[in-house]
Chains A and B, each alone.
Chain A
């Protein structure tokens, strides 16, 4: 599976839609393989268990199939699919009475402090403890299983709204516009959530590289 991909073009979407309408099982399989696991994970932010999230995603696919004739191509196909998903997930979440306010989950980026801890700056705002280098060719190290696991863990530990935004933007390579549309989040809040998420992941990597240095 490719992780970072160009968003499908309108022509790709039109071809997929035509195939689905014609009952093409292969086209449906491609779509499901691409999006179903992501959908289940996103639904997890709204509902209490993996089993319910799985149900939400399955219900979404039925909604997609039954709504094919209503899809007008004003948004991309995947944005439309994820809008259906979040609507079903919100409804299910309310029914399962999770104490989270869903309408505001992405509207309120919360406040979890600065990108870099205050104490690394001098009072006038310049670096006191500047970032260390990550060694020669860090790109290679960043792709090792060990470091990929660190990234994964730091994403898992984020608040759900930050986690979903960084996953869609940086793991899956969606555009800002697509994420705003799919999650019904404003451009500004999307950016704030992404900023906090990326800053946290960078700090996890920094901790790793600083530790590796002193070993």
Chain B
């Protein structure tokens, strides 16, 4: 590697390092919550989120409320099958079976 390329490479590395260590603002964190819960964040971003959460009770509460929201949404019930739809579908099934 030429010296110039090495220097460029090092500069890039340092820039990236600096970016990773930049703390997250709360405004940014709330937009990363779903990706965080889905485990879809690159390790460096995940670490930034966790560092922020460790120091910020408001965002910790926000994350907890998102978890509670998800759990509560899971308690909803979809509509039940109407008797008319069931009859129509069973008739179709019998037609398919005999066809």
Contact = CB atoms under 8 A, between A and B. Distances in A.
Contact of B81 (A37, A125, A166): A37
A183 B4 CA distance: 49
Interface range, A side: 35 or more
Q: Main secondary structure on chain A at its contact with chain B? A: helix
Nearest to B88: A58
Interface in B67-95: 68-81, 85-86, 88-90, 92-94
A13 interface: no
Interface string A136-155: 00110011000110011001
B55 to A, nearest CB: 11
Interface stretch (A61-69, A72-80, A83-91, A94-102): A61-69
B69 A147 contact: no
A46 B9 CA distance: 51
A125 B78 contact: no
B26 A25 contact: no
Contacts of A166: 73
B89 A142 contact: no
A126 B26 contact: yes
B77 A1 contact: yes
Contact of A125 (B28, B35, B85): B28
B80 A148 contact: no
Interface string B20-35: 0000011110110111
B69 A201 contact: yes
A26 to B, nearest CB: 11
B76 A151 contact: yes
B97 to A, nearest CB: 4
Contacts of A37: 78-81
B61 A171 contact: no
A170 interface: yes
Contacts of B30: 114-116, 199
Given A133-B61, A198-B69, A199-B66, 17 more contacts: A25-B90, A32-B86, A33-B81, A40-B85, A58-B85, A62-B96, A65-B92, A116-B27, A121-B26, A126-B26, A127-B58, A130-B61, A151-B69, A151-B72, A151-B76, A171-B78, A187-B40
Interface of A: 1, 3-4, 23, 25, 28-29, 32-33, 36-38, 40-41, 54, 57-58, 61-62, 65-66, 114-116, 118, 121, 124-127, 130-131, 133-134, 138-139, 142-143, 147-148, 151-152, 155, 166-167, 170-173, 176, 187, 191, 194-195, 198-199, 201-202, 205-206
